Amino acid sequence: MARRKGRTRDKWRDKRWVQVVAPESMNYNKLAYIPITDDENAKGRVIEKTLYDILHQDPSQYNIKLYFQIDRIEGDIAYTIFKRYEYSKEYLKSLVRRGSSKVNFITDAETKDGYVFRINVIALTHQQLNSSRKHALRLAARNVINRDVPQLDIHQFVQKTCFGDIHASILSEGKKLTRLRHVGLEKVKLVRTAEKQIAMLEA
């Protein structure tokens, strides 16, 4: 005698939809509308967007990728924290040219309210630089970051990262040393949150 099949459970009917929003520093702009099974499982989920998706200002903002991590859910709203900022691979590749130097500098910096970020600065010159000039550029970038970031809270830091204020300050100092074709923040990654003081998940 054939076994009677049980009723198939509709997994989609068990899910509910929530609106994911950017952090306060980005005016809680809408990021995505996603299905979740429950609040706890949704926490830690990462949403990827371009800067243009959020600001809708300049087409060049398509070159900047932003990552936001769901931190908490209240009702039908999923709130996020800023997790990462980075150049797209295609944009990074387009910046590199023959006959010029590429100078990278990586450091950790802490905001005044206790968030720690790993910041990767990239500088591209019009001509080849010797090692001492490269060292001077890295030192200038370090001085700007160590001077400015500890004065900012998390919201100010995210805004100044995304709107270019930090790399503009580095560019200003770098121009005193050599002719620069481009200076930017190649990657900015959240390493530790202020609330929990624990390492964030690697991505």
pLDDT at 38: 84
- Does residue 7 have a pLDDT over 90? no
The pLDDT tens digits of the residues spanning 163-180 come to 889 999 999 999 999 999
Token pair 């706890």: residue: 40
- Does residue 23 have a pLDDT over 60? yes
pLDDT confidence tier of residue 198, bands split at 50, 70 and 90: very low
pLDDT confidence tier of residue 201, bands split at 50, 70 and 90: very low
Q: How far apart are CA 200 and CA 121, in angstroms?
A: 21
Terminal Cα-to-Cα distance of the chain (whole angstroms): 52
- Does residue 4 have a pLDDT over 60? no
- Does residue 184 have a pLDDT over 80? yes
pLDDT at 36: 87
Q: Which of 134, 126, 122 is nearest to 186 (CA)?
A: 122
Q: For residue 179, what are the CA distances in angstroms to 9, 11, 91, 193?
A: 65, 59, 21, 37
Q: What is the mean pLDDT of residues 46-63?
A: 90
Token pair 């709130």: residue: 79
Q: pLDDT over 70 for what percent of the chain? A: 89
Q: Which of 103, 147, 137 is nearest to 122 (CA)?
A: 103
- Does residue 12 have a pLDDT over 70? no
Contact 183, 170 (CB under 8 A): yes
The SS3 assignment for 21 reads strand
The HSE-up count of residue 55 (CA atoms within 13 Å, CB side) is 18
Token pair 């995304």: residue: 162
Q: How far apart are CA 192 and CA 194, in angstroms?
A: 7
The pLDDT tens digits of the residues spanning 59-117 come to 889 999 999 999 999 999 999 999 999 999 999 989 887 778 899 999 999 999 999 99
What's the chain's length in residues? Answer: 203
pLDDT at 15: 81
pLDDT at 203: 45
Q: Which of 82, 87, 84 is nearest to 25 (CA)?
A: 82
pLDDT confidence tier of residue 13, bands split at 50, 70 and 90: low
Q: How far apart are CA 61 and CA 76, in angstroms?
A: 29
What token pair was written down for 96?
Answer: 């590199």
Q: How far apart are CA 135 and CA 76, in angstroms?
A: 50
Q: How many CB atoms lie within 10 A of CB 35?
A: 12
Q: pLDDT over 90 for what percent of the chain? A: 67
The pLDDT tens digits of the residues spanning 127-161 come to 888 999 999 999 999 999 999 999 999 999 999 99
pLDDT at 84: 96
